[in-house]
Amino acid sequence: MTKFCDWIDKRTGKLDTSGLETKWRARWAEIKTQEYKSSHPLKPINEMTSEEIKSMFYILVMFPYPSGVLHMGHVRVYTISDALARFHRMRGKHVVNPMGWDAFGLPAENAAIERGVAPSEWTVRNIAVMKDQLARIQTDFGWDRELSTCEPDYYKWTQHLFLQLYEHGMVYRKEAFVNWDPVDQTVLANEQVDKNGRSWRSGAVVERRKLVQWFAKITAYADDLLNDLDVLDWPEHVKAMQANWIGRSEGAEFDFALDSKGTNHDGQAQPPTAVTVFTSRPDTVFGVSYLAVSADHPLISRDWLPTTHATDVLCCAKDIKDCQAKGGVSSDSSQPSKLGVFTGLYALHPLDPDRRVPIYIADYVLSGYGTGAVMGVPAHDARDSEFCKANDVPVHDSVVEPISQDKKAADSVFTDLGVLRKVPENGIFGGLASAEAMAAIVHAAEEKSSGRAAVNYRLRDWLLSRQRYWGAPVPVVHCASCGVVPVPEDELPVELPRSVHLSGRGGSPLSHAAEWLSCKCPRCKGPAKRDSDTLDTFVDSSWYFLRYTDPHNRSLPFGASAATATMPVDLYIGGVEHAILHLLYSRFISKFLYKTQTYGAAAVQDDAAISDSVRSTILQKCSSKDYNGEPFKRLLTQGMVHGLTYKDPSTGQFLKPEEVEVEAGKGGSSAARVIATGKAPAVVYEKMSKSKYNGVDPTETVNKYGADATRLHMLYLAPPQDVLEWDTQSIVGMQRWINRLGRLVDGAFEAKPLQTITESLTSRVEWSGEAKETYRQANVAVQKATEAMGTTFAFNTAIASLIELSNHLATVKECAHPSYAYALACLIKMLSPLAPSVGEELWEVCCKNKYFDAAGIMTQNSTGGISVLGQKWPDVDESALIKQSTTIVVQINGKVRFKIDDVDVDLDKEMLAQLAKEHPLAAKWLFAKSIIRVIHVPNKLINLIIN
């Protein structure tokens, strides 16, 4: 007889996880073309059945950078995604669950410099290592859809996407600041600048320089990106982060006409006529005390500044720019800036031209934001108030007061909405509530042509250029005659040159590849130069989910019908650290492609490559809900994994594990001490990192405890959205449970079912109380696990329900009853997505011993195999959830005397009283006594009151 416990060492009691997992990895590889061929359905959309298209479920985990090493955060997110993919497959979904590699980027380039190896070689080697590691934790991705962003057959289409944006006027070039290392003479990414503003390599103070760079007009989609958050099933805090980043602000623009008195205009050029500002509080415009402009505002020029002020102003402008170059300025109003100088210039109030407003240069105003000028209202803005105090700016009184006179501002600066005070400055608007006053003031400004309603956004256009080697080259050439010319589509991809010397110095590496740079202009055929920049790696990851839908298409980035049938992603899983930029850029690109009919219902209508029946099915699927090009329907953001961390109590320094001795105490508790001092260290959980010596190697963990126990432990410790405090010591609990499941299954063969479950269910009313409870508990577990896996992602709840069911089965005496076999089958099926090799082995053992056959439980799936992962997830029998029997506590005169087991639920008071009187233990208390009253708590207790 085949037994699961044959895998357990009789001497040590340990499961041979290595042998078991190796067996099932090999078995899965063998049956991939059979049972698992349908698991990753990669076939032309026109060959798919209507049912397959309708049941498609796209589950996607954010693809990793191929660093070469999995950490526990990787294990957590891939275990989550794998368990959910297996669950939905068992639920009958046509699951799309691909994997690939976000392979371009700075780390590979740095590794090439440090190790003297080509980035491509380093990347390919790391991918091979990580694929093996992913197999070790038993993930089952759709590798037939695998992609790598650094491969030419992928970045060809990234370049195509850039050209599509260019063709639609959605990319442009302009000057922008970069981080410049003055020693190495190269551009640095933000992550190459340390917290002190120094280069990671040379140690030089990093400067800010302007370079001409490529930008994408993401701001053109600001309203769509903001409004369509409402259709998404995302965590509210993530949607709030996106909304705040977009930062839509309604208000007004006012034109403060420049007072020509005092300007240094020599008539050679036309001076600015007005300073335009945006404000979200037009109700405070009469409280303006000054205007503040940026250091590179057009007014900050010797041509316009009064000669008496020009030198001081220009010196201040230089100081501000120098400070900005070192990253020392914040425009955050929570950090008031005070550096400023009066320019000697005045502007005229847009609604009161007799009132002159002084103009200052201020370091908190940045040229790249808004108009490069703001109005200062110190009575209603804390930063403006600080600026006035520091620069002796005369302050106007408040013009807005609280609606209720009982409500006083916490200090002299009142920042809330209120009522405009009836003071001369406010004129006819005095007495109006802020909201009413805003509309009236804007209308008055419009009539005077000195202002208008306006909407402002915090969102800025997306900087696409990178002065790096390891990225997709920008597909344009620069011609002296024709200017910027796109590379023709039939010449894509523009491949990276292989022989570039990487040193980390001297600017963009591609700018030194003379042979590669030189080319012919596609338009005039004259000499031209390639663009030496590469694209931001966020461009690569902004559309990869669409390529997965049709990964081997050689003529298009993806087929319109394949993408439309698969998108949007039903469930996207990844870290909350990507909650802003990656998600925002992906939403922008997806919406752009949707609006330009690269995919979507309109594109399907025009697709001649599909049949009418396929077209009809896809359009029907599209009509169920319009996501307006949103790429990710539902988002699951997993929390970080923190490790056990020890700190020296005296110095606060992190301690290595070998510097601490941990002694086991009673009840599983433990005490730690610093070996060198004998003192108790500070013990906390913190984000895993090398510097804290608290990292855990997943490979070592899997080798020691097994992949199944590691997965179960990872999923059980905390809900996926929460921070997980990794405790290796408690993983033995999952090892013991797996062994108990093995003994439970092996013990079941001693009493095979005498009847099939289907036959037995017809006479369920005649079942014993134990059989009814077993059937009920099985269905309760199915209900809890199904909700946890399909709705709430509370894996800890799912596993707890399986443990509870197994504990019940361990107490059952009627093991030959088919309800026991039914419950055991449900338990193994629900375990399998979480612990695949253990689930497979338990199922196979039952099948080889013909155990489920005796109970009439189907063990073969549609392809003829017996893999449990190819089985149908159990359905809930709603009628079984109602508890059929219960235990009633019997009290006499309020004191518990005995209990009656296996009582039908909802039995009335009279019947319960009769059962109590007839119970063998009742005579002792009721002999020669009269029952004068009966107190009944339904399904819980009955209290007999006697005289």
Q: Are 108 and 888 in contact (CB under 8 A)?
A: no
What is the structure's pLDDT at 406?
61
pLDDT at 665 over 80: no
Which of 76, 39, 84, 42 shows the shortest CA–CA distance to 634?
84
DSSP string, 729-789: GGGHHHHHHHHHHHHHHHHHTTS--SS-HHHHHTTGGGS-HHHHHHHHHHHHHHHHHHHII
Q: Categorize the per-residue pLDDT at 410 as very low, low, confident or very high, splitting at 50, 70 and 90.
A: very low
Write out the H or E segment, with its range, that includes residue 932.
Answer: strand 931-937
Both tokens assigned to 404 = 């209720």
| Half-sphere exposure in the Cβ direction for 775 (13 Å, CA) | 23
pLDDT category at 455 given cuts 50, 70, 90 is: very high
Say whether pLDDT at 667 is over 80.
no
Q: What is the pLDDT of residue 265?
A: 54
519: its two tokens = 């080319």
Q: Whose structure tokens read 């800010």?
A: 208
Nearest residue to 725 (alpha-carbon basis) of 708, 713, 738: 713
pLDDT of res. 947: 83
Radius of gyration in angstroms for the set of CA atoms belonging to the chain, rounded to a whole number = 36
What local confidence, expressed as pLDDT, does residue 332 receive? Answer: 40
**The residue type at 643:** G
815 and 743 in contact (C-beta within 8 Å)?
Answer: no
pLDDT of residue 206: 84
Q: What percent of the chain has pLDDT over 90?
A: 66
**H helix runs in 417-559, sequence order:** 434-447, 514-517, 537-540, 544-547
Which tokens sit at 934?
Answer: 């009966």
Place of tokens 């009847």: 755
| Cα–Cα dist 350/274, whole Å | 10
Instruction: Find out whether 95 and 66 touch, Cβ atoms under 8 Å.
Output: no
- Tell me the average pLDDT across 489-504: 91
Given a contact cutoff of 8 angstroms between Cβ atoms, the answer to whether 477 and 521 are in contact is: yes
404 class by beta-carbon count within 10 Å (0-12 exposed, 13-18 middle, 19+ buried): exposed
- Could you give the CA distance from residue 862 to residue 489 in angstroms, rounded to a whole number? 45
Answer whether 468's CB lies under 8 Å from 181's CB: no
Instruction: Give the Cβ contact number of residue 607 at 10 Å.
Output: 18
Confidence of residue 407 (pLDDT cuts 50, 70, 90): low
Cβ atoms < 10 Å from Cβ of 412: 11
Task: Write down the pLDDT at residue 501.
Answer: 86
pLDDT of residue 267: 47
Q: Give the predicted TM-score (pTM) of the model.
A: 0.87
Q: Which residues contact 386 (CB under 8 A, 6 or more apart)?
A: 336, 337, 338
Residues 690, 695, 698, 704, CA torsion sign: positive
Residue 690: predicted pLDDT: 76
Q: Could you tell me the two tokens for 759?
A: 């036959």
Indicate the pLDDT class of residue 750, thresholds 50, 70 and 90.
confident
Q: How far apart are CA 367 and CA 373, in angstroms?
A: 8
The 10s digit of each residue's pLDDT in 255-301 is: 999 997 756 655 455 678 899 999 999 999 999 999 999 998 999 99
What's the CA gap between 934 and 947, in Å, rounded?
Answer: 12
User: Which of the pair, 407 or 3, is modelled with greater confidence?
Assistant: 3
Backbone φ, ψ for residue 541 (5° rounding): -85, 0
Burial 242-255 (b: 16+ CB within 10 A, else e): beebbebeebbbbb
Tokens of 685: 């959980």
Pairing of strands 571-575, 635-638: parallel
- Provide the Cα torsion 851, 855, 856, 862; round to 10°: -40
**Tens digit of each residue's pLDDT (9 = 90 or more) over 685-717:** 988 877 888 888 899 999 999 999 999 999 999
pLDDT tens sequence across 13-47: 999 999 999 999 999 888 775 544 444 557 889 88
Tens of pLDDT, residue by residue over 565-600, are 999 999 999 988 888 899 999 999 999 999 999 999
Supply angle C-alpha 265, 266, 272, rounded to 5: 35
Over range 652-669, report the average pLDDT: 77
Distances 468 to 234, 496, 695 between C-alpha atoms, Å: 34, 11, 31
Higher pLDDT, 925 or 159: 159
Cα(445)–Cα(447) distance, integer angstroms: 5
User: 38 or 623, which is more confident?
Assistant: 623
Treating both helix axes as pointing N-terminal to C-terminal, what angle do 106-115 and 119-136 enclose, rounded to 10 degrees?
110
The pLDDT of residue 133 is above 60: yes
What CA dihedral angle connects 372, 378, 383 and 389, to 10 degrees? 110
Residue ranges of alpha helices (H) inside 105-204 are 106-115, 119-136, 152-167
Beta-bridged to residue 654, according to DSSP, are 647
Question: What is the rounded average pLDDT of the residues 634-648?
Answer: 92
SS3 433: strand
- pLDDT category at 478 given cuts 50, 70, 90 is very high
405 has pLDDT over 90: no
Residue 335 has pLDDT above 70, yes or no: no
Phi, psi angles (nearest 5°) of residue 552: -110, 15
Which two structure tokens, joined as six digits, stand for 5? 């416990």
Q: Please, which pLDDT band fits residue 789 given cuts at 50, 70 and 90? A: very high
Strands 356-362 and 290-293: parallel
Owner of token pair 């600041």: 177
pLDDT tens digits for range 161-218: 999 999 999 999 998 878 888 877 777 766 567 777 788 767 888 887 888 999 999 9
Q: What is the DSSP letter of 610?
A: S
When mean pLDDT is compared across 29-38, 300-309, 677-686, the lowest value belongs to 29-38
Q: Is the pLDDT of residue 429 over 70?
A: yes
Assign 334 a pLDDT band (cuts: 50, 70, 90): very low
Bridge partners, residue 58, by sequence? 96
Which residues make Cβ contacts (< 8 Å) with residue 612, sequence separation at least 6? none
> Residue 41 corresponds to which amino acid?
P
pLDDT band at 863 (very low <50, low <70, confident <90, very high): low
Within 10 angstroms of residue 200's Cβ, the number of other Cβ atoms is 15
Length of the chain: 947
User: So what's the pLDDT on residue 411?
Assistant: 55
DSSP tag of 148:
B
Q: Which of 864, 875, 899, 836 is nearest to 138 (CA)?
A: 836
Residue 831 region by backbone torsions, left for phi larger than 0, else alpha for psi between -120 and 50, else beta:
alpha
Half-sphere exposure for 19 (CA within 13 Å, toward CB): 8
